[in-house]
Amino acid sequence: MAAALVAAAGLAAGVTTGPTAAAGAIGGHSRLTSDAVAEPRAQSGSAATGMAYPLASQPAATGVGDRHRADRASQRLRGKVRRAASKPAGPARPSQHGKPSRSASQSAQAEQPIEIYDSATPAAIPAGVMCATYATGRFAVPAAEMAGRPTIWIDAWGTDPAASVLDVEPGDATPSMVPVWVTQHLKLDPAGNARIYTMLDEWPAVQQAVSTLPSSIRSRIRWWIADPTGVPHMVPGASATQWYWGPSYDISTADPGF
């Protein structure tokens, strides 16, 4: 979700240096479900779609705690900085960022899981895929730069409730900011959902932060969880999982309609 909806190039322990053969034909951006896994794994079903995905890997062993989270946050930040170093981060106008845009072919295939490629430098993202990049924050991308590309806009600072996703991770929006952002976003988009990106380690804190919201609001939150194992999978309870952190972009698998 690179601050995000998302990028990080430092690789966490156990993460491959690129999409593996087991991850499917990444060049074609089509291997999204459990047949992409090299070895049999237990399956987790998506309640919304009935599709099966490999179960998420287990979190790091207890005891590494804060150090582990700090290392992952540092890795993501270094990745964003490296990717954005060659371009100025001009601010983007909040009014230009809203619901994810889709191409006609993507709309026609809306019933299929989708892959999302996110980066602080969207020019590095291959053509013909769903992009995610920043509407606000240190790595904000002007809307004009994404003209003609299906784009999910990420709010890194919690200042643009019209954006597609709120990025909650160290250095960006905090868990305490989520309830207000979700409420404001749903007021702007009464028929939509509120998408929240966060890392697997931080997810419980974000869930706790929204626990006091009315159930009618909580039911419309969609979770985008970073669990960069290097293998396509869906974290149980999430609507999208960021499974690959790379030097140019990250890759996520998302349920249809995410």
pLDDT in tens, 135-158: 999 999 999 999 999 999 999 999
- Torsions phi, psi for 118 (to 5 deg): -120, 145
154 occurs within a structural domain: yes
Task: Give me the pLDDT at residue 32, please.
Answer: 26
For 64-84, what is the mean pLDDT? 54
Q: Is the pLDDT of residue 221 over 70?
A: yes
Task: Give me the pLDDT at residue 212, please.
Answer: 96
Rounded CA-CA distance 194/59 in Å is 25
The CATH number given to whatever domain includes residue 102 is: 3.20.20
12 occurs within a structural domain: no
For 212-236, what is the mean pLDDT? 97
Q: Is the pLDDT of residue 231 over 80?
A: yes
Task: Give me the pLDDT at residue 17, please.
Answer: 29
| Residues 6 or more apart whose Cβ sits within 8 Å of residue 253 | 32, 53, 113, 114, 115, 116, 232, 233, 234, 240, 241, 243
Q: Where are the beta strands (DSSP E) in the chain?
A: 43-45, 52-54, 114-118, 130-134, 151-155, 165-168, 194-199, 221-226, 240-245, 250-254
Q: Is the pLDDT of residue 247 over 50?
A: yes
> Environment class of residue 168 by beta-carbon count within 10 Å: exposed (0-12), middle (13-18) or buried (19+)?
buried
Task: Give me the pLDDT at residue 44, please.
Answer: 36
The pLDDT confidence band at residue 257, using thresholds 50, 70 and 90, is: confident
183 occurs within a structural domain: yes
For 12-24, what is the mean pLDDT? 30
Task: Give me the pLDDT at residue 81, please.
Answer: 55
The pLDDT confidence band at residue 71, using thresholds 50, 70 and 90, is: low
Rounded CA-CA distance 249/244 in Å is 9
Query: In terms of pLDDT, which residue wins out, 54 or 252?
Result: 252
Amino acid at 94: P
126 occurs within a structural domain: yes
Looking at the structure of the chain, the number of domains it has is: 1
Task: Give me the pLDDT at residue 41, please.
Answer: 28
Q: Domain of 74?
A: 65-85+96-254
The pLDDT confidence band at residue 3, using thresholds 50, 70 and 90, is: very low
User: Is 74 in contact with 82 (CB distance < 8 Å)?
Assistant: no
233 occurs within a structural domain: yes
The pLDDT confidence band at residue 73, using thresholds 50, 70 and 90, is: low
Amino acid at 46: S
Task: Identify the three-state secondary structure at position 246.
Answer: coil
User: Is 252 in contact with 234 (CB distance < 8 Å)?
Assistant: no
Rounded CA-CA distance 150/25 in Å is 21
34 occurs within a structural domain: no
Q: Is the pLDDT of residue 58 over 70?
A: no
141 occurs within a structural domain: yes
19 occurs within a structural domain: no
Q: Is the pLDDT of residue 38 over 70?
A: no
Instruction: Measure CA 37 to chain center.
Output: 21
Task: Give me the pLDDT at residue 123, please.
Answer: 96
198 token code pair? 């966060």
Q: How many residues does the chain have?
A: 258
- Torsions phi, psi for 176 (to 5 deg): -65, -20
